[in-house]
Amino acid sequence: MFRALYTAASGMVAQQLNLDNVANNLANSSTTGFHSRRLQFADLIYQNLIMPGAAATAQTTVASGLQVGLGTRAGASEVMQTQGDFSSTGNPLDVAIQGQGFFQVKLTNGEIAYTRAGTFQLDSQGNLVTADGNPIQPAIAIPSNTTAITIGQDGTVSVTQPGQTAAQQVGSIQLALFPNPGGLNSMGNNLFLATTASGDPILGTPGGAEGLGTLQQGVLEQSNVNVVAEFIQMILAQRSYESNSRVVKAADEMLKDLNGLTQ
Amino acid sequence: MDSGYYAACTAMMTQSQALELVANNLANSSTSGFRAQHSVFQSLLASSSGAPMSPLNEAANQYGILQGTRVDVTQGPLEQTGNPLDLAIEGPGFFVVQTPTGRLLTRNGNFHVAHGQLVASDGNPVMGENGVVQIVGVPVSIAPDGTVSVNGAVAGKLKLAEIKPGTPLESAGATYYSAPQSAEIADTHSTIRQGTLESSNVNTVSATVELITIQRQYDLMRRAMSIFDAQFNKTATEDLPRVS
């Protein structure tokens, strides 16, 4: 009976975490390049009160054992890899990836982080940087007297300068691809870090055979949060929490009954 | 004497075990690939000797006990996730996963790639028809028959095992199940859906009804015990000695 109390409590804790996750996804439903997370649950260990296959008599065995499970736990929160919607902004430094690749960003501590948010800007030296001011990797510098910037589908960045008719290539954007993007470590600010679970990044130019995807200039990738699915998840979490609390109540009342026996 | 008293006591113990099963089912109502456990009750004739009993004696000594648990193998609802490595099985089959403790079966197709291998959510390799499925590169597409192709080239075929009908499944935790390997047969009835996960097959309506039944039955047995205690024992210990 006390097992039932703890089992139900594990279900309530798991659903609370589920709701926390839904809240974060919904809060980021307008964050450019945000990838939603989905919580995965797993059942806990089982107590074998009667072992399946144990001898029932000298000749026969128990057909099905008596196994009592001890509840649930949140196993993992996996990054959803679906493509977010595209919105056209017309800003020449807004770039979206149509495919599975990530932009590389150099952090102030020298580490490389990865992002899908292509809201780039120029810093005081004309370097292409993210909204937080971190330069993209490999670094691309735009000359100061540029009149137009063109980013090709294959990542080629070219500029047009006054008095010149031909565009001049100033660099090329490289993308990184992970064998298991679900295992990336979210560090906030739309940035991800590579982990042993995600694997080492495969670098390449966009549009190649690796499946990195192509770039679209003047377009941004919106959050991939599916608001309808999140609401469904929220209802499920709430109802499941409720049914687990019913078990707690039932166990409590049964224990009360039991105590009432010894008057 | 008072075997009815013990019958009621046994029933209370049985119902509290049944509550533990319902609690576990409800706690796992969001666990992908989870199979509900149902309780199997049995009547037990309590007799110390093999001597034949009178019908009245037999009726008073039939105790209800929890004999075992049965894993519910009905299909759970399918949930779209869009992740290419989320796989759901439509049909009776199971994925085969090689864990440190041996081969185990699962319906939880929340797979990943680690070190170039297809692995289950806890990192154990998923078995194909010819050993572990190697996945190097993207995109990964998985056909309804389990054929895995990476970037257009066939990388292997997922192994699906079907369990002979009537074979009991043992829950191994972390949505793993085990069955004797002799009971496994090649699956021909199942199809795999990519980008989908199978939700838990716990039926919350019937679990809640079960919960109410357990609680009421427990209450009934408690009342029966009180009656034994208050009416019969009182007569025996307080009233009878006064008869002169």
Query: Is residue A80 pLDDT above 90, yes or no?
Result: no
Tokens, residue A94: 């807004």
Query: Is residue A160 pLDDT above 70, yes or no?
Result: yes
Instruction: Pick the more confident residue, A20 or A63.
Output: A20
Nearest to B170 among A67, A182, A244 (CB): A67
pLDDT the model gives residue B201: 92
Please list the residues that pair with B87 across neighbouring strands: B109, B194
pLDDT the model gives residue B236: 75
Note whether B137 and B150 are within 8 A (CB).
yes
DSSP class of A80: P
B40 contacts in chain A (CB < 8 Å): 64
pLDDT the model gives residue A192: 92
What number is the average pLDDT over the span A249-261? 87
Share of chain A above pLDDT 90, in %: 45
Name residues whose C-beta falls within 8 Å of residue B152's C-beta, 6 or more positions apart in sequence.
Answer: none
**Which residue of chain A is at minimal alpha-carbon distance from B69?**
A66
Instruction: Pick the more confident residue, A250 or A180.
Output: A250
Query: Is residue A263 pLDDT above 70, yes or no?
Result: no
Q: What is the dihedral angle through the alpha carbons of A105, A109, A110, A113, rounded to the nearest 10 degrees?
A: -30
Q: Is A72 on the interface with B (CB under 8 A)?
A: yes
**B37 and A179: CB-CB below 8 Å?**
no
pLDDT the model gives residue B48: 60
pLDDT the model gives residue A78: 83
**What pLDDT digit, counting tens, does each position of B46-58 carry?**
666 666 777 777 7
Query: Is residue A247 pLDDT above 80, yes or no?
Result: yes
Q: Let me know how long chain A is.
A: 263
Tokens, residue A156: 């080629």
Q: Is A14 on the interface with B (CB under 8 A)?
A: yes
Q: How confident is the model at residue A16 (pLDDT cuts 50, 70, 90)?
A: very high
Note whether B76 and B197 are within 8 A (CB).
no
pLDDT the model gives residue B234: 76
A72 contacts in chain B (CB < 8 Å): 27-28, 30-31
- Work out how many CB contacts closer than 8 A connect A with B: 200
A68 contacts in chain B (CB < 8 Å): 17, 20-21, 24, 69
pLDDT < 50: residue spans in chain B:
none
Nearest to A62 among B28, B29, B68 (CB): B68
pLDDT the model gives residue A103: 94
Average pLDDT, chain B: 86
Note whether B24 and A69 are within 8 A (CB).
yes
Average pLDDT, chain A: 88
Q: How confident is the model at residue A211 (pLDDT cuts 50, 70, 90)?
A: confident
**B68 and A180: CB-CB below 8 Å?**
no
Q: How confident is the model at residue A163 (pLDDT cuts 50, 70, 90)?
A: confident
Query: Is residue A67 pLDDT above 60, yes or no?
Result: yes
Task: Let me know if B217 is exposed, middle or buried by CB neighbors in 10 A (0-12, 13-18, 19+).
Answer: middle
What number is the average pLDDT over the span A44-67? 78
Instruction: Pick the more confident residue, B90 or A261.
Output: B90
Share of chain A above pLDDT 70, in %: 98
CA distance B58 to chain A (A): 22
HSE toward the beta carbon, residue A77, CA cutoff 13 A: 15
**B28 and A43: CB-CB below 8 Å?**
yes
Note whether B34 and B175 are within 8 A (CB).
yes
pLDDT the model gives residue A18: 94
Tokens, residue B175: 């949505």
- Residue B156 φ then ψ, to 5°: 155, -175
Q: ω before A138 within 30° of 0 (cis)?
A: yes
Helices (H), A158-226: none
Query: Which element (helix H / strand E) includes B19?
Result: helix B3-27
pLDDT the model gives residue B240: 76
